[in-house]
Structures are given as C-alpha cells and as structure tokens.
Amino acid sequence: MSKKIVVIGGGGAGTGAATIAIQRDRSLDVTLITEFEDIAYSPCGIPYVFGRQIEKFDGLFLQPLQFYRDMGIKLCTETLVERIDINKRSVYSNKGQEFPFDVLILCTGWEYEVPDLPNVDLDGIVYIKNIRQAMEIDKRLDQVKKAVVWNSKPLGVELIAELPHRGIETHLVDPSPWLMADFTDADMMEPLQQYLINDVGVKLHFGTDLLGFKGQNGKLTHAQTSAGDIEADMAFLVAPMKPATKLAKSIGIKTGSTGGIIVDNHMRTNVPNVYAAGACIEVLHGLLNIPVNLIPGSYAYPQGRLAGLNAAGGDEAYRPVYVPWGIGAKVQVGGVLVSETMAKAMGMPYIVGKATGITAARYHPAHEMMIVKLLVDPNTRRVIGAQFTGGEGVKERADFLAFAIRKGTTVEELATMENVYSPPIGALGEPIANAAKNALAVLGG
Amino acid sequence: MSKKIVVIGGGGAGTGAATIAIQRDRSLDVTLITEFEDIAYSPCGIPYVFGRQIEKFDGLFLQPLQFYRDMGIKLCTETLVERIDINKRSVYSNKGQEFPFDVLILCTGWEYEVPDLPNVDLDGIVYIKNIRQAMEIDKRLDQVKKAVVWNSKPLGVELIAELPHRGIETHLVDPSPWLMADFTDADMMEPLQQYLINDVGVKLHFGTDLLGFKGQNGKLTHAQTSAGDIEADMAFLVAPMKPATKLAKSIGIKTGSTGGIIVDNHMRTNVPNVYAAGACIEVLHGLLNIPVNLIPGSYAYPQGRLAGLNAAGGDEAYRPVYVPWGIGAKVQVGGVLVSETMAKAMGMPYIVGKATGITAARYHPAHEMMIVKLLVDPNTRRVIGAQFTGGEGVKERADFLAFAIRKGTTVEELATMENVYSPPIGALGEPIANAAKNALAVLGG
C-alpha cells in the first residue's frame, strides 16, 4: 500500500507541499483538504483588481483545479477538517469523511482576530482573505462612494492606494502615527504619505482609534473613531492576524512565543510524522535570532515545498529568514529589518547613514529620487537594516540589502560598492553607497 | 612656502584630484592644467543629447570653471603640457609657462588610435570625446541623412540607439558577430539587437570590416566595408582606445601589460611624488586578479579623489575592481565579468545557470521580462559572472551581483536569496534565484 500524505490547507504552503511531494514520489497517495473552493491563487493581487490595475480576477488563479487532479492529487475542496485523531492517524471532515494518513502536513494558514467593536457585523464591513469573497466585494465597489480602511498594515496601504481609482473617497483609520509603523520609520514613509494625500487623494487619519460602527437597516453608514464619525458605505478591516493553530494544538503540537507552530529546519513539528508550513508556523529571523511569524505570503510556497519534499523522503533544510519587503508603484517604499523604530524598541545599538540620491544621471529626464537609510551596528560596523523610498529600483535594492545583511556586510564594504553608471539607468553615485559613506562619517566622528 | 601640487588633465580624475587635495588642505597650491576649454563635464551624456533624450549640452557641465577657481584651484585651460623635467620638478606648457611642483598627479586619460584607413580624414568622419567638438557635431546632425557607426563598444551602442531619433538612417559596422562581443555573450545580446533592428530601425552589419571611405569635394559620401559600400554623410568612429601615457613614459614611469600606468593602491607611480589616476592607469581586477584598464569613466573620479587625498597627506587605499556594467533604456543589458565568451577564451572552468523571469507579478501589467545568466565555477561553486537582459532593474541587479561576487558568493547562497514579492514591483520568484537554481541543477546532474 502506498504511503498516505494528507495536506490540510490549499494556500501557497499546502499547494506547494502537495505538488512537490507527488512530483518527488509518484507512488505517494496525496490528499489536499481545503475549506475553500479554490487552491493556488494569489490573494496578493486582490487590491490591484479593486483598483483595476489588474483587469480581472482570472489572472490570479495559477492553475485550474483539474491541473492538480491530473497531477494525481486528491483534492477535497469546501471541506472543513473537524478533528484529527493522532493515534488512529486519521483526519475527519465536517462531511463525515475519514482521511487516514502516514504523514500529515498542516498548512492551516492564518486568521483575522475579528475586533470586538460595536456593530462589527453590519453589512458593508469586510475582510480581505478569500478570493470568492473578494469577487463579491468587487461587484459592490461601483456603488461604494466612501470607504474606511482600518489599519496601515501592507494590505491596508495597498487598499488605500487602489480604492480611489474606483472613484471612492477613501479614509485610512490608524492608531499609529505613520504608515506601517510597526516596522518602518516615520521619515521614510513621509514621501509615500504625501503622495497618497496629494496625488491619490486619500484621507489619512493617524493616531486615530476605531471605536465601532453605525448603520441603518443593517447596513454600514459610519465608522466611529476617536476623531469623530466618518461616513462610509464600506469598511475594510485589516484586523490583527494570528496563525491558525487550533487543529495543531488539538494533537499536542507546540506553538512558540509568536503563537506560530514550532518546526525544525525540515518543517517537522514536535509530533512525529506531522509537518507544518506557511502562515501557521514561526521561523527564525537571521539577524535578530528570534522566531518571527506571519511573514509575507510569498514565503508560504517555498516552506510548503520543503515540507512536501521532506515528507516525501527528501532532506533539505530551511534557512533563517531576512525578509526584504517592498510596496507601492509610482512611489515605492521597501527595506529589510531592522528599522530605527525597532532598534530603539529592542534596545539595539545603532547609528544611521542616510542619503538622498537619484536613479539616473542628474541631467537625464529619467532620474527619480531614491532615499536610502541604513542602520549600522557601531560595534561590529555591520549593516543591520535598510529602508528605501523612491520609484523604480526599491525592490531590487531591498533584495540586495537582505542578501548583504545575510552575508554580514560591513558599512565599509557598502561604502566601496561599485555601481553601473549609465545616464538613463544609473547615476554616478549609487544612493546605497552614499548612505554608507554618511554612516562612516557618523562612525568616524 | 606652500606645497605645490600640479594636476595634468581636467576629466573626472583630474577634477577629483585637484578638488579633494585642496579641500583636504587649504594651504596647498593646486594647479590643474588641461588642453581643453572645460573641466568636469559628463561626456557620457553626449549620445543622449544627440538623440534629444537630454535636451541640451548645458546639463552635462557639473559646475562652471569659476566654481573651481573660487575653491582656490589655479585652472589653466587650453594649455598643453609639452614636457616634464622630473629633476627640476617642473612642467612646461606649449605657451612657454613653467609650473614647478612638489607633487605631480597625472590624469592624462585616454586617446583614440586613429585607424590607418584610406580617406580617414574626410570631412564628416568624427570621434566622440571632447564636448565642444560634440556640440559642433550636434549642429550638423539635422542635415545628416545617413550615418555609419563603427564598432559596437558601449559608446557605439549608445550612438546607434540614439541617432535614429534624429531621423538618421543608422548603420552599425562591426567586425564582431554581436554587440560588445569582447565582454558579452551572443544569447544575452539577442533581445537588444532585435529591439534595435525592429523598434529603433538600426541596420546592424556584423562580421563586417571597415575598409576605408569615399568622398566628394573632401566630404564623406560612403563608408567602404567588406560587405560593400554604405552611403553616409557622417561616420562615427568608436576606434580602439589606449591610455595616454606619453608624458608619463617621458619621465620613466612604468606601464603594465595593458599599456596603462602601473600604480600602487595609493595611486603612486614608480616615480617618487608622482601619482596617476583615471583612464591612463591600470588597476587590479578583483575576480580575475589581473590588471585591467579603460574601465568605465565613472571610475575616474573616485580614483582621482584618492590620488588627490593621498597626495595631500591622506592615507586611503584603492580596492580591486569588479566593474558592473549596464546600458540601454527601454531594453537594457548589463552584468559583471566574466561572460561565457571570456571564460572560454581564458580557459576558466564554468557552468551556466540561465533563467527567464519577470519583474512583477505575471498577472500585473507592469511585468517585464528579465533574463539572467550566471556563470559558476564548478570547483568552488562560486558565482564568477552574470549577465542580464530586460527593462528596468538591470542596473540594480548588476550592482548586486558585482557585490555578491566580491563577497565570494556561492551559487547555493544565490539560489536561496530572499526577494520582495509585491504584484506591481516584484514577482514571486526572483529571476536571479531561478538562474542560480538552474545552475545547481546543472552541478547536481
């Protein structure tokens, strides 16, 4: 009898685990169970469909379900796992099915913590997660005149940047003092905020608590905030997210300080023959040397891939993560931990090197501003964080710095980096090198 | 009496040397001698003014001459150095002046090797170097119907990409089989060549020797090539370049295998108190561990800066170079040594990892193609070269890979690099990582 692998969850991690397992060993019996209708789509594209930067939802699906069935995966969609019996090695669904397994892979993802606010169940208060729900929201958007987005986590920033393109008066309500304040610095967010206010026309309400909602006939009419009521036909709640670990805990799987499932570098949990991957786990941060979770969705697939590979008899290890991030389009921001805000909060010693440069020759019309902020540990002189604000070229610089930090790069090395100089595509001085030189000046003084 | 520093040459190196020396020590007596009318302009912008991507020449000048005079530099323009008496420590000009020095900094740059071809002195046959001459050429361009550009060195590629924007039928005549063939690979130049042929409308004559010229009344009418005569009102000769070392040799300064002046890492020549910097010197290549010269013009300023600093009593060392390069605008190519062509020629062992990726989510309209080719030493598994073909993002990737190669990065490390995933600015899979994974597959097989 062939070895049975059951994967719970059909997001990036679950899809990666199931497909790689069966690709590695065609004799495996692989079942994927998901509560949703679809697997393997890109939820990250949803805000851009709302803004019509992407024309329709179709493109967000990687492959039709049949593609995975043809591969030999047993797909059980719209199926909720109710219980796992770890002694009997079986998974039980809400439809009364039993799925016996030799190896179990938990890719249960994350869930919103729905805030305990008055009238939070009014029609028009929505969450972005499932693509079918997003399609329904999208159909209503043409009728929406005013919207509130709660919280400038990255998804919130994408929403406020896109909704105005549909003619919607868009309000951000955020208790923090600037965009994505838990991992960014105020000075580096300022250009994006100015762009959102002046060019996109978003109303930014910082330092403002969401207190509840008012409605009429069950429909949302206002968001109540510490700065007063804001009229709204729709409210997008980018609520706190947490790893979905209920099933894991029910079979004695340990979770860590972040709330995520603890796995070793082969994605194994503490329960034999049970793996976990994706948003439900925590992983080690390479620089901070502490567990982190809920890192970007793009990490789910490679983690799931690894879980599937190792579950199918492979032997490949996961690495600590550094997590470069980036967001925006015309005005882009990005970077890699740590920010000055975080370094202060964690009591890490640091100095700052900052420079405003350009991305093409100063006399070439293609040049755009590129602001670089580097954090340097004054003891080791190693770079410990970077943030970028500019246009094109933020993503690539964030990738570069994540790699440089992983390689233990010193500020002297960055200050002497070489760069392409070509009038339409690169300035004489690379802004990263200029920021590093400024950091050296601080260290030298 | 204050220490006298004489700088010969007013390009990037000479300007850097003179300004940094006097900034470091205001008591110095700094003289800069140049045969030209101007100093400190950006000749790299010239082709883009020809194509009117840059509106006029004004922007190419960094500062007016008075700026440097106000700084305290004695500027002698349009002054040719005829002789150096190293025992008397004096420089003599064609105007009968004597410039005594304590320290001499040679920034004599490079010169074209004018080819020995029939009728090479016809009116209409031009070289791009001095900006005043370029202004004269520019004035004539509106009357030019057909032009020949000899040689697809980077300057030649810039010229053929820009001249058609002035309505000029542009022909490249090149003995090589593809663009910039001495340091690039054919497969990586193909997309740019197709773009130049199909979108820009350039006629590319590869494998074609330039044999001479025909004229009428002293004016150019045809370029004679091994593939037949080509009608032309103007011919741009991107002739071989060589370091200008006549003055250096006249005082016993040693040149190396490349023809460039040999300097130590403080830019000192073998003659005491004589420094050299810029296109007239050779420097060590970090990967190849051999001297190289005539590297991009952007290296001149930092080299000159270092020579000036050390001549003024400083102590800073130059590093071996890795030289990321990039060129283009809509279609961009770039990279860092070595290419497959070079590795073959030098007998270096290598394997190739190549991938065609995208620069934004596949479902986002902003995505462009990005082809990455990596060369890996199969023994050390270190990356030894990279080439990129795409649109935006080539420059940044070339900078990154130059740094990664300097840091001795292995292909495993690149294959596990992390990257920003955000639909408008970064795809799920970074093309560099995909190329590295493909290289690993080659190594593993």
Give the three-state DSSP class for A307.
helix
Structure tokens given for A436: 């590093």
Of all residues in chain A, what percent carry a pLDDT higher than 90? 95
Q: Does B116 touch chain A (CB under 8 A)?
A: no
User: Read out DSSP for B361-416?
Assistant: -TTSTT--EEEEEEEE-TTT-BEEEEEEEEBTBHHHHHHHHHHHHHTT-BHHHHHT
Q: Please state, in angstroms and rounded to a whole number, the distance separating the CA atoms of residues B311 and B263.
A: 13
How does pLDDT run across B55-82, given as a tens digit for each residue?
999 889 888 999 999 999 999 999 999 9
* Per-window interface: B 371-410 vs A, CB < 8 A: 392-400, 402-404, 406-407, 409
Chain B residues touching residue A59 (CB < 8 angstroms): 362-363
Which secondary-structure segment (H or E) carries B46? Answer: helix B46-50
Interface contact A45-B424, CB threshold 8 A: no
The predicted structure's pLDDT at residue A122: 98
How does pLDDT run across A92-123, given as a tens digit for each residue?
999 999 999 999 999 999 999 999 999 999 99
Give the three-state DSSP class for B281.
strand
Structure tokens given for B101: 């020095």
Of all residues in chain B, what percent carry a pLDDT higher than 90? 95
Q: Are A12 and B390 in contact (CB under 8 A)?
A: no
CATH of domain B4-41+60-110+241-311: 3.50.50.60
Interface mutation vs chain B, best among A128, A421, A430, most B CBs within 10 Å: A421
Q: Which of these, B165, B160, B166, B157, lies nearest to B148 by C-alpha position?
A: B160
Chain A residues touching residue B398 (CB < 8 angstroms): 420
Q: Please state, in angstroms and rounded to a whole number, the distance separating the CA atoms of residues B269 and B264.
A: 7
The predicted structure's pLDDT at residue B59: 87
Q: Does B422 touch chain A (CB under 8 A)?
A: yes
- What is the 8-class DSSP label of residue B268? B
Per CATH, B125-237 and B325-438 having the same topology is answered yes
**Chain A residue with the nearest C-alpha to that of B398:** A420
* Per-window interface: B 290-309 vs A, CB < 8 A: 296-298, 301
CATH of domain B125-237: 3.50.50.60
Number of C-beta neighbours around residue A360 at 10 A = 22
Query: What's the pLDDT band for A62 if we cut at 50, 70, 90?
Result: confident
* Per-window interface: B 426-445 vs A, CB < 8 A: 426, 428, 430, 432
Q: Are B193 and B204 in contact (CB under 8 A)?
A: yes
Q: How far is A323 from chain B (nearest CA, A)?
A: 7
What's the whole-number mean pLDDT along residues A349-373?
95
Query: What's the pLDDT band for B32 if we cut at 50, 70, 90?
Result: very high
Q: Name the residue with higher pLDDT: B232 or A329.
A: B232
Structure tokens given for B348: 């270096």
How does pLDDT run across B174-194, given as a tens digit for each residue?
999 999 999 999 999 999 999
The predicted structure's pLDDT at residue A1: 74
| Pairing mode, strands B103-106 and A219-225 | unpaired
Q: How far is A319 from chain B (nearest CA, A)?
A: 8
Q: Does A423 touch chain B (CB under 8 A)?
A: yes
CA quadruple B161, B166, B168, B169: dihedral positive or negative? positive
Interface contact A419-B399, CB threshold 8 A: yes
Chains A–B, number of C-beta pairs less than 8 Å apart: 177
Which secondary-structure segment (H or E) carries B283? Answer: strand B281-284
Query: Please, what CATH class does the domain formed by A325-439 belong to?
Result: alpha beta
How does pLDDT run across A293-318, given as a tens digit for each residue?
988 889 999 999 999 999 999 999 99
Q: In Å, what is the CA distance from B314 to each residue of A7, A439, B73?
A: 65, 20, 19
CA-angle at B381, arms to B378 and B385, nearest 5°: 85
Q: How far is B75 from chain A (nearest CA, A)?
A: 24
The predicted structure's pLDDT at residue B310: 98
Query: What's the pLDDT band for B195 if we cut at 50, 70, 90?
Result: very high
The predicted structure's pLDDT at residue B85: 98
User: Read out DSSP for A157-224?
Assistant: HHHHHHGGGGT-EEEEE-SSSSTTTTTS-HHHHHHHHHHIIIII-PEEETT--EEEEEEETTEEEEEE
Q: E strands of A232-382, at which residues?
A: 234-237, 241-243, 261-262, 274-276, 281-284, 291-293, 325-328, 332-336, 351-358, 369-376
Q: In Å, what is the CA distance from B276 to each residue of B2, B87, B108?
A: 22, 18, 8
How does pLDDT run across B281-324, given as a tens digit for each residue?
999 999 999 999 988 889 999 999 999 999 999 999 999 999 99
Q: Are B179 and B364 in contact (CB under 8 A)?
A: no
Q: Are A378 and A350 in contact (CB under 8 A)?
A: yes
Number of C-beta neighbours around residue A17 at 10 A = 36
Of all residues in chain B, what percent carry a pLDDT higher than 70? 100
Give the three-state DSSP class for A350.
coil
Strand order in the sheet with A98-100: A81-85, A90-93, A98-100
User: Which residue is listed with tokens 């060549």?
Assistant: B193
The predicted structure's pLDDT at residue B307: 98
How does pLDDT run across B97-109, given as a tens digit for each residue?
999 999 999 999 9
How does pLDDT run across A180-201, given as a tens digit for each residue?
999 999 999 999 999 999 999 9
Beta bridge partners of A75: A32
Q: Does B327 touch chain A (CB under 8 A)?
A: yes
Chain A residues touching residue B321 (CB < 8 angstroms): 418
Is residue B315 classed exposed, middle or buried when 0-12, 13-18 and 19+ CB atoms within 10 A define those classes? Answer: exposed
Structure tokens given for A80: 């909720």
Q: In Å, what is the CA distance from B141 to each residue of B138, B165, B238?
A: 5, 11, 17
What's the whole-number mean pLDDT along residues A327-353?
95
Q: Does B109 touch chain A (CB under 8 A)?
A: no
Report ipTM (2 d.p.): 0.96
Length of chain B: 445
The predicted structure's pLDDT at residue A296: 87
Interface contact A321-B402, CB threshold 8 A: no
Is residue B22 classed exposed, middle or buried when 0-12, 13-18 and 19+ CB atoms within 10 A define those classes? Answer: buried
Query: What's the pLDDT band for B110 if we cut at 50, 70, 90?
Result: very high
**Chain B residue with the nearest C-alpha to that of A363:** B59
- Cis before A149? omega within 30: no
Q: How far is B337 from chain A (nearest CA, A)?
A: 13
User: What is the fold, at CATH topology level, of the domain defined by A4-110+241-311?
Assistant: FAD/NAD(P)-binding domain (3.50.50)
- Model confidence, pTM: 0.96
Q: Are B126 and B137 in contact (CB under 8 A)?
A: yes
**pLDDT greater than 80 at residue B10:** yes
Mean pLDDT across chain B: 96
Interface mutation vs chain B, best among A399, A409, A413, A440, most B CBs within 10 Å: A399
Query: Domain boundaries in chain B?
Result: 4-41+60-110+241-311, 125-237, 325-438
The predicted structure's pLDDT at residue B445: 56
- What is the 8-class DSSP label of residue A61? B
**pLDDT greater than 60 at residue A445:** no
Q: Give me the residue from B42, B53, B363 closest to A60, CB to CB.
A: B363
Q: How far is A256 from chain B (nearest CA, A)?
A: 24
**pLDDT greater than 90 at residue B329:** no
Length of chain A: 445
Q: How far is A270 from chain B (nearest CA, A)?
A: 26
The predicted structure's pLDDT at residue A329: 82
Integer distance in angstroms from the first to the last C-alpha of chain A?
Answer: 71
Look up the CATH superfamily of B325-438: FAD/NAD(P)-binding domain (3.50.50.60)
